[in-house]
Chain A
Amino acid sequence: MAQVSSIADEKSSTHVSSSKSVLLRISRYNPEHDDSSKFMEFNVSYEKWTTVLEAILEVKKHFDHSVAVRYSCRQATCGSCGMKINGKPKLACFTKISELDSDVVTVEPMNNFPVIRDLAVKFERLFDTHQKVKPYLIRDDTELESDEKEFLQSPKELEQYIQFANCIKCGLCNSACPTMATDSSFVGPQALAQAYRYVADSRDKGKDSRLKIIDESHGIWRCHFAGSCSQVCPKGVDPAMGIQFLRGYLLGFRS
Chain B
Amino acid sequence: MRESTIMKIHYGTALAAVALVAVHILMRLTQGFAESLEYENVLANYKLIPYAAMLELILILLSVHGFNGLRVILLELRQGRTYEKAVSYGCLAAMIGLIAYGSNTIIRTNMGMV
Contacts and interface: CB of A to CB of B under 8 A. Distances in A.
A221 B76 contact: no
Q: Helix, strand, loop or mixed for chain B's interface?
A: helix
Interface residues on B, range: 10 to 19
A251 B4 contact: yes
B77 A217 contact: no
Given A217-B84, A251-B8, A183 B3 contact: no
Q: Helix, strand, loop or mixed for chain A's interface?
A: loop
B3 A179 contact: no
A14 interface: no
A128 interface: no
B84 A221 contact: no
Contacts of B2: 215-216
A130 B1 CA distance: 25
Most buried by A among B3, B7, B79: B3
Interface string A221-255: 11000000000000000000000000000110000
Nearest first, the 8 closest Cβ-Cβ pairs linking A and B are A250-B4, A183-B76, A185-B79, A215-B4, A221-B7, A184-B79, A221-B3, A182-B76
Interface of A: 179, 182-186, 215-219, 221-222, 250-251
Interface of B: 2-4, 7-8, 11, 72, 75-77, 79, 84
